[in-house]
Chain A
Amino acid sequence: MFHWIHKYGSPKYFYNFSRRLTPWLGGITAVLLAVGLVWGLVIAPPDYQQGDSYRIIFIHVPSAWMSMFVYMIMATSGFIVLVWRMKVAEAMMRASAPLGASFTFLALVTGSLWGKPMWGTYWVWDARLTSELILLFLYLGFIALQSAIEDRRTAARAGAVLALVGVVNIPIIHYSVEWWSTLHQGPTVTKLSAPSITLNMLLPLLDMALAFTIYYFTIVLKRVRCELLDSESGSNWVRELADDKGY
């Protein structure tokens, strides 16, 4: 197993591995997205109560799931950075942040767009949206910290501490916001609950979730390549690669 870690932990090997893998992942993403879009927008029937507006969940829910999933990966990478100081883990962590922030942003805006036809306002302080907003701040803080520290490796270690502190806080924040939300709920239920989910709706949702996940891995591997090129720019394999590919 250590041989495996050592192999994939080497920036050069990981770079080439990523290069080979991303076209396949990209292809799978495209297929899953196409299937999901047709399924969700055309084949799935309109909801009894929410009509066609519920179709936003096929973007909103996968985005929200991804926003959490990516943070977990960031925190795990951060742990690896602090304990084993692997450069590939550093790259993975840094590369994931903008993607996580994008998904969080998407979840927030689509949640808002879903909210307007449902309750008449673009913003609702419901538990999930509020938690997502705070998660966005956590991501932005991480990104800001990375750009504020000049030395890459120091920045990565500091970011790792921040990511781990954040990961401890996320369940606490979620619980607090849930509690707060039930406390201040008006007489009408304000939960952004999915319509009573039939298989017709669940399957395209899962497909889109999978599509977003594979998309994340495709893009993060691309970003990791960029990070590795930056951090290893002085090394021979990068120079040779650049001579080959940089024109």
Chain B
Amino acid sequence: MTLHEFLYMGGYAAFVWPAYGLALVVLVVNLVVPHRRERQTLRQIARQHRRVRRSG
């Protein structure tokens, strides 16, 4: 299969590539969102803890 054939997908490129593209988006978003959330939560708890310790 040549690169051209690969991209062209027998004429169905307009359907195949958005499908795979969407799959990529879904997989990446589901990876990134919890990753950031975990970091944010830890940061938040650390900050609160520091505040408590300082005032305690």
Contacts and interface: CB of A to CB of B under 8 A. Distances in A.
Interface of A: 37, 41-42, 46, 51-53, 55-56, 59-60, 63, 98-99, 102-103, 105-106, 109-110, 113-114, 116-117, 215, 219, 222-223, 225-226, 229-230, 233, 238-239, 241-243, 245-247
Which among A42, A46, A52, A60 has the greatest number of chain B C-beta atoms within 10 A? A52
Main secondary structure of the interface of B (DSSP, over half): helix
A56 B42 CA distance: 39
A106 B1 CA distance: 27
B26 A51 contact: no
Contact of B9 (A55, A223, A225, A241): A55
B30 A242 contact: no
Given A59-B23, A242-B42, 8 more contacts: A51-B11, A52-B10, A53-B9, A110-B22, A113-B16, A222-B35, A229-B38, A245-B42
Interface residues of B, number: 31
B23 A106 contact: yes
30 contacts: A41-B6, A42-B6, A51-B11, A51-B12, A52-B11, A52-B16, A53-B10, A55-B9, A59-B20, A60-B19, A99-B30, A102-B29, A102-B30, A103-B26, A106-B23, A106-B26, A110-B19, A110-B23, A113-B18, A117-B15, A219-B31, A219-B34, A222-B34, A222-B38, A230-B41, A233-B41, A243-B46, A245-B46, A246-B39, A246-B47
Interface of B: 1, 6, 9-12, 15-16, 18-20, 22-23, 26-27, 29-31, 34-35, 37-39, 41-47, 49
